[in-house]
């Protein structure tokens, strides 16, 4: 059974998000304080405790860095960029990680430039988040297919994998902040991606058949050059 998700209605307000972050960071902080107090009072910490403390710290670090992507201090810089180049960059970046798991990339891009008006680094981050999820869903290897084409005035990017897929009852939860089924996941990747795509006036959908894989479709308004080409036709 196939299901289509539109997460835009579900986006939480900034206040709810902030409360979520505070909550998620407080848990590892409480653990860290517990261990430190134990050490102060009884001097009983062993290497295993230190290891746990480090992984709690790493968790805080991950949560904070995912949020920094949204709250970029430097001015957001929109430019006309070819999506094909951004996708190629992302593939080169993740190629060696994918190969470790026996994963190959199959790319099918349009022959013509696919220009979008975008903040390149943020868009790159979106594709990284999605391809990483695909890699993490395929521990036994397989193919990740990246398709890109131009329809009407939209640039459409489809990223599909042959991984474990998403159980039907879990589909509505995807993109909720902190929803994750991974031991060391933050559950922020899809939410952050969704917000970035919204800021680009685009849309993002996930479809999945449990056991067969997942497919993420992103639509972005086509940038100036494509419109110009069209009006010249």
Helix, coil or strand: residue 117: strand
Give the interface with ligand ADP as residue ranges (CB under 6 A). Answer: 129, 133-134, 137, 161, 163-166, 174, 179-182, 185-191, 214
Q: Choosing among Mg ion, ligand ADP, none, which partner's interface includes residue 90 (Cβ < 5 to 8 Å by kind)?
A: none
Residue closer to ligand ADP, measured from CB, 135 or 222: 135
CB of 50 to ligand ADP, least distance (A): 25
Long-range contacts of 176-184 (CB under 8 A, 24+ apart): 176/10, 176/12, 177/12, 177/17, 177/20, 178/20, 178/24, 182/136, 184/55, 184/59, 184/62
DSSP state of 222: B
Q: Choosing among Mg ion, ligand ADP, none, which partner's interface includes residue 227 (Cβ < 5 to 8 Å by kind)?
A: none
Q: Does 175 bind Mg ion (CB under 5 A)?
A: no
The residue whose Cβ lies closest to Mg ion is 189
- Please tell me the distance from the alpha carbon of residue 233 to that of residue 231, in angstroms, as a whole number: 5
Selected from 133, 145, 194, 207, the binder of Mg ion by CB under 5 A is 133
Q: Does 189 bind Mg ion (CB under 5 A)?
A: yes
Q: Does 194 bind Mg ion (CB under 5 A)?
A: no
CB of 192 to Mg ion, least distance (A): 9
Report the residue count for the chain. 233
Q: Are 132 and 100 in contact (CB under 8 A)?
A: no
Interface residue list for Mg ion (CB under 5 A): 133, 189
């Amino acid at each position: 059974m196939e299901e289509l998700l539109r997460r835009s209605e579900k986006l939480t307000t900034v206040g709810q998000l902030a409360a979520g972050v505070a909550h998620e960071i407080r848990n590892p902080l409480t653990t860290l304080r517990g261990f430190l107090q134990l050490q102060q009072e009884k001097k009983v910490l062993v290497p295993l405790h230190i290891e746990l403390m480090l992984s709690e710290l790493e968790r805080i670090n991950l949560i904070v860095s995912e949020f920094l992507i949204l709250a970029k201090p430097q001015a957001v810089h929109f430019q006309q960029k070819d999506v094909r180049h951004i996708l190629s960059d992302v593939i080169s970046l993740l190629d060696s990680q994918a190969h470790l798991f026996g994963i190959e990339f199959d790319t099918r891009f349009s022959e013509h430039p696919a220009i979008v008006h975008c903040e390149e680094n943020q868009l790159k981050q979106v594709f990284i988040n999605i391809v990483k999820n695909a890699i993490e869903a395929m521990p036994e290897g397989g193919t990740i297919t990246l398709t890109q084409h131009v329809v009407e005035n939209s640039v459409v990017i489809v990223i599909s994998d042959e991984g474990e897929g998403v159980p039907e009852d879990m589909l509505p939860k995807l993109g909720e902040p902190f929803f994750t089924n991974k031991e060391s996941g933050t559950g922020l990747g899809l939410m952050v991606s969704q917000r970035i795509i919204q800021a680009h006036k685009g849309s993002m959908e996930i479809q999945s058949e449990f056991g067969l894989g997942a497919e993420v479709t992103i639509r972005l308004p086509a940038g100036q050059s494509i419109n110009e080409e069209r009006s010249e036709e």
